[in-house]
Amino acid sequence: MDKKDKKPEASNIYVQMGIFAAILFVSQLISDLFPKSFVVPTPLIGMVLLYILLACHIVKLHQVEKFGTFMIGLIAFLFVPSGIQLAAHLDIMRREGIQDVCVIIISTIILLVVIAYVGALVMSIHHKITGNKKD
Amino acid sequence: MSATIATNLALPFTGIFISLIVYLIGMWLTKISNGFFLFNPLLVGMVLGIVVLAIWAKSTGSTTAAVYTKYYLPGGNIIFWFLNPATMAFAIPVYKVNETFKKYWFDIIVICFVGGFISLFLIQLVSKLFGLSAASTASMLPQAATTAVAMPIAAGVHGVPAVTAMACILNAVVIYALAEFLIKILRLDKVSPVATGLGLGSAGHTVGSVKALSLGEIQGAMAGVSVLIISLAMDILVPIYANLFM
């Protein structure tokens, strides 16, 4: 960890895992409160909770950073079972696999274009209102 | 004897071992091909894993789905569970750029919700044009959210989470292959860096974040922020959209 400003030492790894586990447990409880027709997945609540706790300085960065960065580094591997899940739905792939892939490729480009250009529009309105040309 | 082997193969070890091996082969292919876009470790892992299970099913005279459920799932589920803390950890990069986030938080939320809604509409239109079934169309909608969040959303609107997961994986592959080209023809390096970062982050997930970081610091920061905000936007928008328009 090469950080310019002096920082407290990273917490014990068990403390870090404990914080993650505690937040996940609470997220799970909150997630259960939502109806089936409006799912709010546990990791989403966990993400929001962790951000709020960090922003309110209840949880300090050094208490979660090391374990969090480690988990993010693993994420591509953790997605493997989600992909292999498709083995249980090969009938769909046989029926409309090619179309699915085409739609996904086009959707990716749609997402990039729409969000980037809506974003450019919103930001230019923002700059007009504040009269500030710099980002 | 064969019954003992079958019982032992149904332990979590098998799933974890298959996942590790296919992912390692993917990483090795990426390395020797100098990062050819189709050799994305995750894509290779997914395809090889399915092939392994299909061959296994063929040789034992069972179906791929049955082999998957009996032998792969116990181990797969263990790895899958760790997506919870890993996805949660995406709050850390957001907090690290908190100054930028606080400065633009309102714009970012507006961009993700408005842009997300327009995208949902266009994605549904494209799905219709290609004649996708209702289940597949529903699975396409939440793909901008990160995989662990998108899959439960897809299940909630009667989609197939497995197809959504494939969509998220392919999103990253497409952005990896086309990002430079798209940035050039769309002149994304000229428009607002906040907008470019959000676009790359929501279209290309973690790969998009890497590409965004190569454009600049604000772009990279915004791509990190987009994971949190676009997932939140999709979670709220997709059920509403599915109720209204599908």
Reduced 3-state DSSP string for B147-173: HHHHHHHHHHCCCCHHHHHHHHHHHHH
Residue contacts between A and B (CB atoms, under 8 Å): 338
Domain closes at, from B25, B56, B81: B81
Minimal C-alpha gap between A92 and chain B (Å): 8
pLDDT digits (tens, 9 = 90+) for B166-221: 999 999 999 999 988 998 998 888 888 999 999 999 999 889 999 999 999 999 99
Note whether A28 and A68 are same-domain residues: yes
Residue A12 — φ and ψ, nearest 5°?
A: -50, 140
Question: What is the total count of domains within chain A?
Answer: 2
* Residue A25 contacts B where some CB pair is shorter than 8 Å: no
Q: Cβ–Cβ of A50/B49 closer than 8 Å? A: no
The reply to whether B131 and B188 lie within a common domain is: yes
Q: Which residues 61-80 on chain B approach chain A with CB closer than 8 angstroms?
A: 64-65, 67-69, 72, 76-77, 79-80
Res B88: pLDDT: 94
Closest alpha carbon to B158 in B140, B180, B143, B175? B140
A41 dihedral zone (left: phi>0; alpha: psi -120 to 50; beta): beta
- Helices B41-60 and B161-185, packing angle to 10 deg: 150
Mean pLDDT, chain B, integer: 92
User: What tokens were used for B147?
Assistant: 């995989």
Residue A134 gets the label, from left (phi > 0), alpha (psi -120 to 50) or beta, of beta
Residue A120 located in a structural domain? yes
The beta strand positions in chain B, using DSSP E, are: none
C-beta of residue B199 within 8 angstroms of C-beta of residue B189: no
- Does position A102 have pLDDT exceeding 90, yes or no? yes
At residue B130, the 3 state secondary structure works out as: coil
Model confidence at A5: pLDDT above 70: no
Structure-token pair, residue A27: 């997220």
- Residue A6 pLDDT > 70: no
Is there a domain that residue A83 lies in?
no
Same-domain check for residues A52 and A100: no
* Band of residue A98 on the pLDDT scale cut at 50, 70, 90: very high
**Is residue B19 classed as helix, strand or coil in its secondary structure?**
helix
What is the arithmetic mean of pLDDT over A87-105? Answer: 92
Residue A129 has pLDDT above 90, yes or no: no
Stretch 8-47 of chain B: residues touching chain A, C-beta under 8 Å: 15, 18-20, 22-23, 41-43, 45-46
Supply the pLDDT for residue A133: 55
Would you state the pLDDT for residue B2? 81
| Complex prediction ipTM | 0.91
In a domain, A55, yes or no: yes
Q: CA nearest A96 in B: which residue?
A: B132
Closest-CA distance, B5 to chain A, in angstroms, reads 22
Q: Does residue B76 sit in the same domain as residue B119? A: no
Task: Name residues whose C-beta falls within 8 Å of residue B25's C-beta, 6 or more positions apart in sequence.
Answer: B44, B45, B48
Q: Which of B24, B21, B17, B22 is nearest to B75 (CA)?
A: B17
Burial of A60 by CB count in 10 Å (0-12 exposed, 13-18 middle, 19+ buried)?
middle
At a CB cut-off of 8 Å and minimum separation 6, what does B167 contact?
A100, A104, A107, B139, B140, B143, B150
Could you tell me if B98 and A78 are in contact, meaning their C-beta atoms sit under 8 angstroms apart? no
Q: Which residues of chain B, if any, have pLDDT below 70? A: none
Structural domain boundaries enclosing A101: 88-135
Residues B39 and B97 in one domain: no
CA proximity to B85, closest of A16, A30, A31? A16
CB–CB contact A46 B153 (8 Å): no
Which of B54, B163, B193 lies at the smallest CB-CB distance from A100?
A: B163
- Domain assignment of residue B46, yes or no: yes
pLDDT > 90 in chain A, percent: 73
Q: Which residues of A touch B112 (CB under 8 A)?
A: 115
Among residues B52, B81, B110, which one ends one of the domains?
A: B81
Mutual angle of helices A13-33 and A42-55, in 10-degree steps: 120
For residues A7 and A46, state if they share a domain.
yes
Supply the DSSP symbol for B22: H
CB < 8 Å to A120, chain B: 191-192, 195
Q: Which domain holds residue B123?
A: 91-245
One domain for residues B57 and B135: no
Backbone angles phi, psi at B19, to 5 degrees: -60, -45
The answer to whether residue A51 is domain-embedded is yes
Q: Say whether both B105 and B225 belong to one domain.
A: yes
Residues in chain B: 246
Q: What is the pLDDT of residue A134?
A: 53
| Domains held by chain B: number | 2
Range from A66-70, A77-81, A106-110, A124-128 carrying the lowest mean pLDDT: A124-128
**Do both A132 and A114 map to the same domain?**
yes
Give the CA angle between residues B25, B31, B36 to the nearest 5°. Answer: 95
pLDDT band at A8 (very low <50, low <70, confident <90, very high): confident
A5 with A71, same domain: the answer is yes
Sequence-distant (≥ 6) Cβ neighbours of residue B120 within 8 angstroms: B141, B237, B238, B241
In a domain, B86, yes or no: no
Tell whether B99 and B73 lie within a shared domain. no
